[in-house]
Amino acid sequence: MTACNLIVQRSAGAAYLLTDTAALNAAREVSQFRSKVLGVRIRGKVVGAIAATGHIDVAYVRKPLRQLAPPDFATFWAALPDLLREAMGAHAARHPDRDGSRRAAMLGAVFDRDAGEPRGFMIGSDGSMFPDASYAAFVVHPVLKHLTDFDRLVGRPYPLGTDVTDPRQWQAERDGVRLIEAQRRDAFERADGSAYCGIGGRAMLTRVDASGVSHRVLKNWRGDRVGCELPFIPAATASLVISAEHVLAHARCSASRFH
Amino acid sequence: MGKTIGKVLEVASIAAFAYVTVGVGLGVAAGATVGASVSSLAAGIGLSTSALSGLALAGFADVAGLGGSTGQKPESTVVALKPRRREEAETGEPHRGTGRLLPPGSAAAWVEGDLVSRADFGRARSWAVDELFEPDRRALPGAQRA
C-alpha cells in the first residue's frame, strides 16, 4: 500500500507528489524501501513525475517509458494506458502469490511550458481511485488534487475546510509531514479484519515546476525495518491490546535485526 | 481459613484494581498518543460499538458510496460508523469504498443501518469526496478531453 498524494497549486506554479517509500510483501512486512516516483521526460527534458499505487511497481514503467522517449505530451498521454497495463502485468508475473483484484493506478504531474503552469493527471485500472463511475478505466484524467485517505475525525492534518491547492492555506514543504503522518496512522485492514500500517520508510515530497523536478525527504521513519511490519498505534478502531501486540512485535523484530 | 480467604480477596482486589487502572491508563495514553483518538479512548475504557454510535449525534457518520462503483448497497444506507480501508486485492472493495464524514448541516443523527435522504447523502458524499479529490475540467496539454 502507498501514500500517493497529488496536489496541484496553480497559483504557486508547482505541483507536488507526496509519497512514502515502503514496499510490503504478502505478509504485510516491509520487503524493501524504494522511491515510488519516476521522472517524465519529453524530448529528453524532465518535465514531470509519476507515482504509482496498488499492484504495480513504478520501476516497471521506467524502461518502456525510456524506450518510448515521447517527443510531446500527446504521445505521452496516448502511451500511458499501455504503460499501466504493462507495468501491472510485469508486477503480477513477478509476484504471482499476490492474489486479488490487481488494481493499480498512476498519478503524476507535468509542467506545461506553453501555458506556464503545472498540470496533474491520474489513470487507473478501474474507477476505485476516483469518486464515481464517470471516470473511465485506463483513461488519463486531468486532476487538481488526489489525497490518500486519512482519519477525518481525529488528528486532522489541517483544519476542516482548508484548500490544499491554495498555497496561502497549505504549503507542502511545511505541512506535508502532518498530512502523511495522518495517513500513516490511518490503518489498512486485512481481509480478516486485522489492522496494519501500510505507509512507511520515508515521506518524499516531489515538486514539479518550471525548473523541472526536485525531491525532498520530509520525514524519515527511522524505526521502520525491512522484514518487519511497520509500527503503528491504530488511531481509530483497533483495540489497545492490538496496539500493544504491534508495538511489542515490532520491538522484537527490530531487536532481532540488530543481532 | 478466614484469614486465607481474606488474603486471597485482598490480592484479587489489588489485581483487579491494577488491571482496571492499567487498562484505563493505557487507553488514555494511547488515545493521547494518536491525537486524542476518540475511538481508541473508547476502546481503552471498553465502550461498545453501540456507545460509539452516539458519536453520530455529534454529526459524525460514515456512509457507503464514496469511491462508488460497488453497487452492493443502496446509496441511502449508512453502513458503518467505523469503516476501514480494506485491501482491494483481498476483498475486491474499492480503495476508497467508504469514508468518514462530518457532513455540515446534515445527517446529525445518522447511525449504522439508518436510511437517510438521498439529498443528505449526496451532500455528505460530495463533501467527503471534495476533501480528497478535485478534478481539473480543462484538457491536458496536447490531449483532447476523454
Q: Among A3-7, A160-164, B38-42, which range has the highest average pLDDT?
A: A3-7
Q: Does A209 touch chain B (CB under 8 A)?
A: no
CA distance B84 to chain A (A): 7
Per residue in A96-109, is it b (16+ CB within 10 Å) or e — as a string? eeeeebbbbbbbbb
Is the CB of B132 less than 8 angstroms away from the CB of A73? no
What was the pLDDT predicted at A39?
96
Interface test with A, best of B52, B87, B102, B138 (most A CBs within 10 A): B87
What was the pLDDT predicted at B16?
57
CA distance B14 to chain A (A): 21
Is the CB of B99 less than 8 angstroms away from the CB of A149? yes
Least confident piece of the model among A151-155, A184-188, A191-195: A151-155
What was the pLDDT predicted at A133?
76
Is the CB of B92 less than 8 angstroms away from the CB of A100? yes
∠ CA A62-A122-A17, rounded to 5°: 70
CA distance B6 to chain A (A): 32
User: How far is it between the farthest Cα atoms of chain A?
Assistant: 57
Query: Looking at the partner chain, which of B44, B92, B100 has a beta carbon nearest the beta carbon of A153?
Result: B100
Which residues 61-120 of chain A have a CB within 8 Å of chain B? Answer: 72-74, 76-77, 98-103, 110, 112, 114-115, 119-120
Least confident piece of the model among A22-36, A40-54, B44-58, B91-105: B44-58
Is the CB of B30 less than 8 angstroms away from the CB of A243? yes
Three-class DSSP labels, chain B: CHHHHHHHHHHHHHHHHHHHHHHHHHHHHHHHHCCCCHHHHHHHCCCCHHHHHHHHHHCCEEEECCCCCCCCCCCCECCCCCCCEECHHHHCCCCCCEEEECCCCCCCCCCCCCECCHHHHHHHHHHHHHHHEEECCCCCCCCCCC
Cα A32 from chain centroid (whole Å): 15
Nearest residue on chain A to B33, alpha-carbon basis: A233
∠ CA B77-B49-B123, rounded to 5°: 30
What was the pLDDT predicted at A219?
96
Confidence of residue A163 (pLDDT cuts 50, 70, 90): very high
**Environment class of A93 (CB within 10 Å of its CB; exposed 0-12, middle 13-18, buried 19+):** exposed
| Mean residue pLDDT across chain A | 87
- What tens digit of pLDDT does each residue of A105-132 get? 999 999 999 999 999 999 999 877 787 7
Length of chain B in terms of residues written: 146
Of the two residues B122 and A73, the one the predictor is more confident about is: A73
Q: List, as one string, the DSSP characters of chain A.
A: ---EEEEEEGGGTEEEEEE--EEE-TTSSEEEE---EEEEEETTEEEEEEEEEES--THHHHHHHHHH--SSHHHHHHHHHHHHHHHHHHHHHH-TT--S---EEEEEEEEETTTTEEEEEEEESSGGGSSSTTS-TT--EEEEEE-----SSSS-SS-TT--TT-TTT--HHHHHHHHHHHHHHS-EE-TTS-EEB---SEEEEEEEETTEEEEEEEEE-TT--TTSPBP---SSSS-HHHHHHHHHHHHHHHHHHH-
ipTM for the predicted complex: 0.87
List of residues 6+ apart from A40 with CB closer than 8 A: A46, A47, A48, A49, A50, A65, A76, A108, A110
Q: B127 with B103: CB under 8 angstroms?
A: yes
What was the pLDDT predicted at A38?
95
Q: A45 with A68: CB under 8 angstroms?
A: no
